[in-house]
Structure formats: structure tokens, C-alpha cells
Amino acid sequence: MKHVFIIGSKGIPAKYGGFETFVEKLTEGQKSKEIKYHVSCLADNSKEFEHNGARCFNVKVPNIGPAKAVYYDIVALKECIKYIRKNNIKNSIVYILACRIGPFIGYFKQKLKKLGVSLIVNPDGHEWKRAKWNKAIRQYWKTSEKYMVKHADLLICDSKNIEKYIKEDYKQYKPKTTFIAYGADTEKSKLSDDDNTLLKWYKEKDIKKKEYYLVVGRFVPENNYETMITEFMKSKTYKDFVLITNIEGNKFYNELKEKTRFNKDKRIKFVGTVYNQELLKKIREDAYGYFHGHEVGGTNPSLLEALATTDLNILLNVGFNREVGEDGALYFNKESGDLARLVDSLESYEEIAATSLGGVAKDRVLKEYTWEKIINDYENLFIKLN
């Protein structure tokens, strides 16, 4: 039996988040009987419970601001080592999601090595580039990433561009890497076109099927909302730009409103969040087009969901997005006028062209990004790893 300890997600059952969904899907879809998963969960108690056949252990962490996630990972790692030692577990794996505890990992690596534990790290995306962090925190992230790469026995990258970056930027450590993508839900929405929940949502938001462009994601500067909104305002399209995102108490939202005056353009509609997953999927399916402006990080879950559901996907032209979208999407750059021109040209885009582009995108997701494939790739790797 191979014991795999997963830390770094907020835990399961998953309510939200990329890593949380990943752990949920990995345990839910488990095929191999040779693996036992142990999952750390952020909670306000120290209970143990079972979910999807995995042993889940709660880790209680005080609310200490930005350092909370670092503290959580350290306590979770200590719990894993304690459990492995107490139960005399041989040939186990600790899989750490994200590079938060680099400055401390050398100390723990020695303990893991003595116990014969393999240390696997998922480096995630370029967290040190995120605008929400101040200079000191960005520097911490970069330093932390360096030490996580240095001490990992293996790094699992969910993006080939991240894998290339790790190999090039940290070549002095000769990092051992592999690529396993993130997964996407490829099933169509269970809601029909005349479903009351859908029709009510459209009426409330004053939106019509196939007459809106859509974006779903965190409202942060590095997702290039400023470019997308500014360019959309320059375009002549009669369609709406629907933004499904949380703007409550968001400083960036107010700054952008002040700067662009997007509130004067009736086509731009911030509609809040949608937690009903079937409804969200149907809204994606019914969109005329989907904008994706993310430029920090690896394989983005919202991009995979868009490629699996929306016919016309318009992505920021960066390596991460090109790698995933390939020939199943259109691309824009941040040069003034570029996206506006593309939107205007799409006014006369024939339905058959959009459908064929969507077909290419869906085929790509079905071939490379299904959860079944991702789970299979992970299980094969875990079982083979010594």
C-alpha cells in the first residue's frame, strides 16, 4: 500500500478553489486499491474523518493574517511526519501543493529522508508576480519557491510552461520534473433552455442567450480586467460583457471604475458570483464568447471549463493560454485597439465558424484534460515512485 499525504489545499469536501477541486476529484475518482490518501484540511478543530475513502485530518490554525497559510502547511507537515513515524509507514509520499514553506523545508526534508518519504511539490503558478502582494511578500514567495525546488524529489507541474520555467530558472539544482495537467468537467449542463432558474437569472441580469461575452474569475489586476474592459468599451458591439466575479469590498474594482468609467457603459455588467455549478455551466454554454485574460500561473481551471463549454474563446496571447487553447481559440494582446478590433470583427463571425472552433477546443479538452486521464496519470506516478 502506497500512502500519499496531501497538504496545501484547504481540504475536502471541496467548496471552492483549484487545489481543493483537484484533491476532491483525485480522491473521488480513485481507481487504484494500492493507494491510501491522507488529506490535510484547514478547520477550527482537530478531528479526523473519512471522505471519498481518504483519511482526512483537520488542522487548527490561528488567524494570523497572510502568514496563516504558511503556518497551516508547517503544522500539517508536522502531523504527517508524526503519523508516518507512529504507524511505522514505509515507502510513503508527501505531496505539497504550492511553494509556501520553502525557508523551512530543508529542516523537514531531513526528517522525511530518514523516514524514507518522497517529497513531491506542485509549484503552482507565478505566485510571486501577483499584484495583491507587496514587495516583501513577493520576495518571500520567490525565495520560498527556490528552496521548494531545491529540496523536492520531484516537481509535478500542471503546465508545460511552468515546467520549462522551473528547469531553466533553477537549473543549478537539476530539478526532476514531470507534467500532469489539471482536469476539466466535460459534461454538459443538466439545465434545459427553458429551466426556470436559468430564465430567472437572465431576466434579473437583463441578459439574453448568445448576446453576451463572458468572463469568470477572481477580480485581480493580473487577470487583465482593465485591458478587457477598456477594449470592450472601444468596440462597437451591441452585445453585453458579463463579469461573474466577487467585487464586494474590492479596492481594485473602485480604482478601475474611477479610471475607465465603465459604469457609464450599459453593456458592461458585473453580476456577482454564481455558486450553482449547473447554472454556471449553462451560462458558459449560452455565451457568445468567453474572454480569458489570465497571465500569471499554470493551467487555469476557468480556462479549461470555458474551452469545454463555450464555442468562442478569446484568450490573452501568453504561453500558458496558448499551451492549453492551441488551435481551439482566438488570441489577443495588450496593445491598444487589438482586442477592440477583434471583437468588432467577430460581429460578422459566422455561427458555423464559431461552432467549428468550439469543436476543436472541446476535442482538445476531451483528449488531454479529463479528470479520468489526470487521475490515471497521478496514480501511475504514485505507484511507481520509490
Predicted structure pTM score: 0.89
pLDDT band, very low/low/confident/very high, at 301 (cuts 50, 70, 90):
confident
DSSP state of 189: P
pLDDT of residue 159 exceeding 70: yes
What are 285's three cell numbers? 454554454
pLDDT score recorded for residue 128: 56
Which helix (H) or strand (E) covers residue 96, if one does?
A: strand 93-97
pLDDT score recorded for residue 292: 96
pLDDT score recorded for residue 354: 76
Task: Answer whether 2-183+370-384 and 196-368 agree in fold.
Answer: yes
Residue type, 329: A
- The domain segmentation of the chain, as residue ranges, is 2-183+370-384, 196-368
pLDDT of residue 344 exceeding 80: yes
- d(Cα 345, Cα 199) in Å, to the nearest integer? 29
Residue that is written with C-alpha cell 476531451 in the block: 366
The 10s digit of each residue's pLDDT in 37-73 is 999 999 988 899 999 999 999 999 988 887 898 999 9
How far apart, in Å, are the Cα atoms of 97 and each of 5, 49, 158, 300?
11, 21, 11, 15
pLDDT of residue 139 exceeding 60: yes
Q: Does domain 2-183+370-384 have CATH number 3.40.50.2000?
A: yes
pLDDT, average across residues 264-283: 95
pLDDT, average across residues 141-168: 93
Q: Which ranges of 100-195 would DSSP assign to H, the alpha helix?
A: 102-114, 135-151, 160-169
Name the nearest CA neighbour of 22 among 181, 179, 148: 181
Residue 89 Cα to chain centre, angstroms: 32
pLDDT score recorded for residue 136: 76
pLDDT score recorded for residue 299: 75
pLDDT, average across residues 232-254: 92
pLDDT score recorded for residue 282: 97
Q: In what order do the strands lie in the sheet with 330-332?
A: 268-270, 240-244, 212-216, 289-292, 313-316, 330-332
Looking at every residue in the chain, the average pLDDT score rounds to 92
The 10s digit of each residue's pLDDT in 108-132 is 999 999 999 999 999 986 665 566 6
What are 190's three cell numbers? 443538466
Share of the chain above pLDDT 70, in %: 97
Residue 325 Cα to chain centre, angstroms: 15
Phi/psi-derived region of residue 174, left when phi > 0, alpha when psi is between -120 and 50, beta in every other case: left
pLDDT, average across residues 243-271: 92
- d(Cα 212, Cα 214) in Å, to the nearest integer? 6
- d(Cα 118, Cα 128) in Å, to the nearest integer? 26
pLDDT score recorded for residue 218: 86
Domain covering 196-368, topology? Rossmann fold (3.40.50)
pLDDT of residue 95 exceeding 80: yes
Share of the chain above pLDDT 90, in %: 78
- d(Cα 26, Cα 9) in Å, to the nearest integer? 13
pLDDT band, very low/low/confident/very high, at 18 (cuts 50, 70, 90):
confident
3-state secondary structure (DSSP) of residue 122: strand
